[in-house]
Structure 1
Amino acid sequence: MAEAPAVAAEPLIAAHRRHFPKADVDVLRRGFEVAAFAHRDQKRKSGAPYVTHPLAVALLLAELGMDTTTLVAALLHDTVEDTSLGLNQVRDEFGAEVAVLVDGVTKLDGSKWGDRAEAETFRKMILAAADDLRVILIKLADRVHNLRTLHWHPKPEKRERIARQSVQLLVPLAERLGVYVLRREMEDLAFANLRPEAYEEIRASLKETERDRAARLGPLVDQVTHALRSAGLKAQVETRNRHLYSIHRDRRANPILDQTIRVGDATRITILVNGPDADCYLALGAVHAIWHPMPARMKDFIAAPKHNLYQSLHTTVVTADEDVLEVEIRTPRMHRLAEFGIIVHINDAAQTSTRLVRDAARRPDLDWLRNLLAWQAHPDSGQYLDSIRAELRSGSIVVFTETGDVVPLPRNSTPIDFAYAVDPELGAHAIGAMVNDRLAGLHTALDDGQVVRILTSDSTTQGGPSEVWLETAQTGNARVHIQRWLDEQRADRAAVDGRLRLVKVLAENETDLLELEQHGVALAVCRRLGYPDLEALYAAVANETVVTAELAEQLVATPAAAPVYGQE
């Protein structure tokens, strides 16, 4: 039995060494031994030893190219939550970095947090991810393996809840980070649990038409290969099967179409160009020279990358045999990013330093994560989670400043969202916008690729956020700043109103509030009542939290403090 942990960890070590030949694998062995011991009395729903789960999660991350620290944290990710092993013990044994990652993915105790546990756990994970994105990647790998083994769970309602939560929260997170390899698998596994009949129908149809599709696809690959070679391009032509949920989504969007699965429904052609980015456009020309491009179906994500690092040229063509095909054109580097997204940058950084790995969370193309952080101020757990779901599923667009800076935003965003994404002060002073050099209202929905300029006013009486802005804004960042501004304005108005009430009551006693303020009497009473400043006290008067007459009595009865404002 003493040799079992070492043997079980070998596939993990082998996978890790393919990406990091010089890695310290002893710490992986130690991590597995600690996990195996901590989970020694626990079983999965399948009856397998529980440690097979963290080992599978770590192996998945190793195959994706994640660093040693992440793999150790993956091995230990359930120990603090499910065993007697404490976070301090993890920190003492494996260091602060591993402990932070483990803590980031540790669920909050449901017995203490009740119905708020899910939302507060997600809030905690997002906060941790803002400092280190590897927290989210461990969570995504954890969910992939849980979905792979979800059929072992005896309760259908639990299977459905886990699958639905995956679609609503974790699939969009994988998409935002560009980790399409995990997104596709999660979508298919959740699809199999949520719509088993539709899943089986598509799977059976794919199998039934597989031979015919392969026979039609072969000559098409030969045609495009010859066209690229004739254009003097060095390129590799690959075919990629679309995942089942993607096919289902297209069918649902076009229910009146014939539901027979054809070549283009199930397969995309991917061209990997071995050359500079400009050669991708030459390859696009070669494709359009042999097949007819469909109008408005060409997308250039090389000149204007997606918010999640994705770059590629997309075109949809009709072949001579009237097959409709989607063709993707990219370089090998772009292809790696298209599959693994942020993991590529973390992998590259890990070859140099741990600090650079953590810095990956601060990339400018991760503004969407900072938008999620803006929702942390939301006090209501249920509404917080609903807001996060809405922001994640909203899709994305890319707009530009006048100087060409890229500003990624959720779909249906307005110039208000744009202004706050650029600078909160710009948002607070916005009175209008120029979109593609044309005047536009602040509530106009923006489209991909537009150039936006915000018109502002320095006047304190003109413009400014309003309740309507709060209803229009799409991003958490904008909504939180607008709400904060509105709250401050309400507080200012309340303070003025409360002070006026107090002035009137004191005047009846022939007492001047300004004099009490100048001699420190008002501030002394304010502090005694537990208010941070006079504005807060006066706002409490307006809100009737403090009774005006009683406050006036205290002010009159309090002796003056030391002279202020230079008085003698």
Structure 2
Amino acid sequence: MTTLDPVNSTGTASAGTVSTEAAPEAGAAPPGARSPARGRLGLPPIRRAPGAPSRGPGATPRAPRGPIRLPLRRTRSAAADGPVRPAVAPLLAVHRSACPGGDEAELLRGYEVAERLHRGQLRKSGAPYITHPLAVAMILAGMGMDTTTLVAALLHDTVEDTPYTLGELRADFGEEVAVLVDGVTKLDGARWGERAEAETFRKIVLAAAADLRVLVIKLSDRLHNLRTLRYRPAHKRAPYAKASQELLVPFAERLGIHVLKREMDDLAFAARSPEAHAATGRAVRAALRLAGPAFAPAVARIRAALAEHGVRARVRIRPSHLYAVHESLGGDLAGLRPCEAARLLLLVDGEERDCYIALGAVHAALHPVAGQVRDHIAMPKDNMYRSLHTRVISPDGDPFDVIVRSEAMHPVAEYGIVAHIRQARDDAATADAVAGRRDLAWLSRLLAWQSNAPSADFLDGLRTDLAAGHLAAFTPDGRAVPLPEGATALDFAYALDAGTGDRCIGAVVNGRLAPMSVQVRSGNVVEVLTDPAGSPSPDWLDFAVTVPARMHIRRSLALRRAEEAADAGRRTLVRALAQRQLDLLAAEARGDSLAVARDLGYGEIDQMYGALEAGALGLDDLVARFTRL
């Protein structure tokens, strides 16, 4: 069958509903049916509204009509929950539907504590503050997260914004909830000053290394803040949206939670460029109105080819989200075609091999564009995304994109780490799924360099690391080395270890000699050439790209400068003391030099000599101190 993915108010394809009112749809299914993927994730079956017409297998794709909004599947009435407060009844209902084994009593207790603590506090909109943590919990419940995560979401601002302490929270709700809340709690700006933002994000990264649910809560928190951004002062909206796109949206992409990423991107786009957002929205809506008939000939050919190859698959028209269209086309929106505003998604009812057969069927039905096939099944992305991508020519001559994945791959493609957490919820491997860092090379890379980055450099490094694309190069013995796009052979060397990077003098890439400045491409085999006497040079910073490489180079250069300054300062002091018949070498042997250094507040004599060379110490004063020994 063929369906058109619904889209939300910002133009984002809603493969899964991330709403404060409804549970997500992780993949369409026949009316009343429960797809294998949804059953595996514990998602409720999709139900057609009473009286809605059924669309059979031969139906032509159609575009959405009217305002583009997230389709909200209302939960049962709050009255059905008896004495439960109406405000929390929808949350309980969504959680009950997605997680039948959830602890509703604990969830209600978490709400009651949060409501009591936030009572009297208001949002910028004038609404009671409790509406925010409740909305965050609803977003998470819509993705099917566990009770512990929802309780932490309800309480996530209590330690930061109320007298409630982390110790009290731990005593009331246990260690697991306390760890999650502490992970998303911002550091005190009064105490940390300008370092607060950087150190807060460092804290989140470290907490996520132990439990990725910290990041999932943080992303849901930011999503709701973006949804309500219109209530902030106008001059604060664009900077907040910019920071969201630079730091939080990349985290959503790295975790594979594309249902969050798409909406956050579009909301941030609306705040940063309202006119461009509105123009893009109008153009996309106009194009989507023509999507059904425009794609119909191609869909018919694909269906026939799939049947001929014996593959069962659902074909869906997938609208692109507005920010993606804007990034792709900029302001050139005149005559936006359906093939530029949407693509086809094939959900294969079968195994991996059936996906490749389906890809062959697509290429048999429509002419493929050379060099446009990407195999993310054999080579999954860092965020565990698995699909086959291709670009083909429609019968009308328009190129468009096709994505092929199995029903089993679809939840992970939409929900990323959240799907893995859900799949492992009742499994002994839950801890591994929640931590997940063994499968997330980008997080391992962040952890490797963050501890050595001062606050002033951490956020810039984080932005750089998150903004980069991904590639994998290989050592001669077959070890995969993940790198950002644009990385050089020198970055590859530092990715192996700091010592190899410091001694790098060149590389052999795919059997050919290359300078260390050569860019590495995905799939390259790189052998690093080293010199035991080699050391970093300042010009290395001109072509080193990765944060770890640049940090190590700067550190090595700073250490060398410090050593050179200490040597120069020592020579100056030797000459000055010699004029007074004093021997600095003898003073060092007796420990007198170290005593003078520590008396001046330096831990090592080289620091004192360096300060002398830098002019921070006066030569006459230092000589006088040695004379008095």
TM-score (normalised: structure 2)? 0.80
Q: 1:6 & 1:557 partners in 2: Cα distance?
A: 81
Q: 1:206 & 1:546 partners in 2: Cα distance?
A: 67
- Letter in structure 1 aligned against 2:612: V
Residue 356 of structure 1: aligned partner = 432
Q: 2:107 & 2:447 partners in 1: Cα distance?
A: 33
Residue 22 of structure 1: aligned partner = 101
Quick check: 1:310 aligned with 2:385? yes
Pair 474,209 (structure 1): closer, same or farther in 2 beyond 3 Å: closer
1:374 deviates by: 2.6
* Among candidates 149, 153, 162, match of residue 240 of structure 2: 162
* Among candidates 294, 300, 304, match of residue 216 of structure 1: 294
Q: 1:54 & 1:4 partners in 2: Cα distance?
A: 21
- Letter in structure 2 aligned against 1:296: G
Residue 451 of structure 1: aligned partner = 525
- Letter in structure 2 aligned against 1:392: L
- Letter in structure 2 aligned against 1:391: D
* Among candidates 337, 362, 366, match of residue 441 of structure 2: 366
1:511 deviates by: 3.4
- Letter in structure 1 aligned against 2:291: R
Pair 367,167 (structure 1): closer, same or farther in 2 beyond 3 Å: closer
Quick check: 1:202 aligned with 2:202? no
**CA offset digits 1:79-104 (Å, max 9, x no partner):** 22222222222222122332232233
Determine what percentage of the aligned residue pairs are the same residue. 47
1:358 deviates by: 5.2
Quick check: 1:524 aligned with 2:595? yes
Residue 121 of structure 2: aligned partner = 42
Residue 422 of structure 2: aligned partner = 347
**Secondary structure in 1 matching 2:473:** strand
Quick check: 1:176 aligned with 2:247? no
Q: 1:523 & 1:386 partners in 2: Cα distance?
A: 38
Pair 53,518 (structure 1): closer, same or farther in 2 beyond 3 Å: same
- Letter in structure 2 aligned against 1:339: E
Residue 565 of structure 1: aligned partner = none
Q: 1:405 & 1:272 partners in 2: Cα distance?
A: 33
* Among candidates 393, 400, 423, match of residue 467 of structure 2: 393
Residue 474 of structure 1: aligned partner = 545
Quick check: 1:62 aligned with 2:136? no
* Among candidates 407, 412, 422, match of residue 337 of structure 1: 412
Q: 2:82 & 2:113 partners in 1: Cα distance?
A: 14
Q: How does 1:418-497 map to 2 (within 5 A)?
A: 418-458=492-532, 460=533, 463-497=534-568
Q: How does 1:211-360 map to 2 (within 5 A)?
A: 211-252=289-330, 255=332, 259-352=334-427, 355-356=431-432, 359-360=435-436
* Among candidates 535, 541, 552, match of residue 606 of structure 2: 535
Pair 349,507 (structure 1): closer, same or farther in 2 beyond 3 Å: farther
**Secondary structure in 2 matching 1:103:** helix
Q: 1:218 & 1:440 partners in 2: Cα distance?
A: 50
Q: 2:149 & 2:580 partners in 1: Cα distance?
A: 70
Q: 2:218 & 2:417 partners in 1: Cα distance?
A: 15
1:552 deviates by: 4.2
1:65 deviates by: 3.0
1:377 deviates by: 4.3
* Among candidates 30, 51, 66, match of residue 130 of structure 2: 51
Contact 2:314 2:347 in 1 (8 A): yes
* Among candidates 80, 83, 89, match of residue 168 of structure 2: 89
**Secondary structure in 2 matching 1:294:** coil
Contact 1:127 1:373 in 2 (8 A): no
Structure 1: state its 5+ residue gaps. 559-568
Pair 9,493 (structure 1): closer, same or farther in 2 beyond 3 Å: same
Contact 1:372 1:388 in 2 (8 A): no
1:549 deviates by: 4.5
1:259 deviates by: 2.7
Residue 37 of structure 2: aligned partner = none
Aligned residues: 549
**Secondary structure in 1 matching 2:412:** helix
Q: 1:340 & 1:198 partners in 2: Cα distance?
A: 28
Pair 75,3 (structure 1): closer, same or farther in 2 beyond 3 Å: farther
Contact 2:288 2:341 in 1 (8 A): no
Residue 414 of structure 1: aligned partner = 488
1:184 deviates by: 0.4
- Letter in structure 2 aligned against 1:454: V
- Letter in structure 2 aligned against 1:199: H
Pair 46,553 (structure 1): closer, same or farther in 2 beyond 3 Å: closer
Contact 2:385 2:416 in 1 (8 A): yes
Deviates more, 1:31-40 or 1:46-55: 46-55
Contact 1:130 1:370 in 2 (8 A): no
Residue 23 of structure 2: aligned partner = none
**Secondary structure in 1 matching 2:403:** strand
Higher helix share: 1
Residue 190 of structure 1: aligned partner = 268
Q: 2:620 & 2:424 partners in 1: Cα distance?
A: 66
Pair 498,45 (structure 1): closer, same or farther in 2 beyond 3 Å: closer
Deviates more, 1:540-549 or 1:169-178: 540-549
1:36 deviates by: 0.6
Q: 1:508 & 1:344 partners in 2: Cα distance?
A: 76
Quick check: 1:101 aligned with 2:180? yes
Pair 367,181 (structure 1): closer, same or farther in 2 beyond 3 Å: same
- Cα RMSD (Å) of the superposition? 2.8
Q: 2:336 & 2:483 partners in 1: Cα distance?
A: 35
**Secondary structure in 2 matching 1:320:** coil
Contact 2:507 2:514 in 1 (8 A): yes
**CA offset digits 1:522-556 (Å, max 9, x no partner):** 33333443332333333333333334444444445
* Among candidates 209, 216, 219, match of residue 137 of structure 1: 216
Contact 1:494 1:539 in 2 (8 A): yes
- Letter in structure 2 aligned against 1:343: V
- Letter in structure 1 aligned against 2:390: T
Contact 1:5 1:36 in 2 (8 A): no
Residue 564 of structure 1: aligned partner = none
Pair 72,139 (structure 1): closer, same or farther in 2 beyond 3 Å: same
| Structure showing greater relative contact order (alpha-carbon pairs closer than 8 Å, 6 or more residues apart) | 2
Q: 1:493 & 1:538 partners in 2: Cα distance?
A: 10
Pair 132,494 (structure 1): closer, same or farther in 2 beyond 3 Å: farther
**CA offset digits 1:10-52 (Å, max 9, x no partner):** 4333433445433333222111111111111122333332212
- Letter in structure 2 aligned against 1:266: A
**CA offset digits 1:188-214 (Å, max 9, x no partner):** 112222333333333334444444321
1:378 deviates by: 4.5
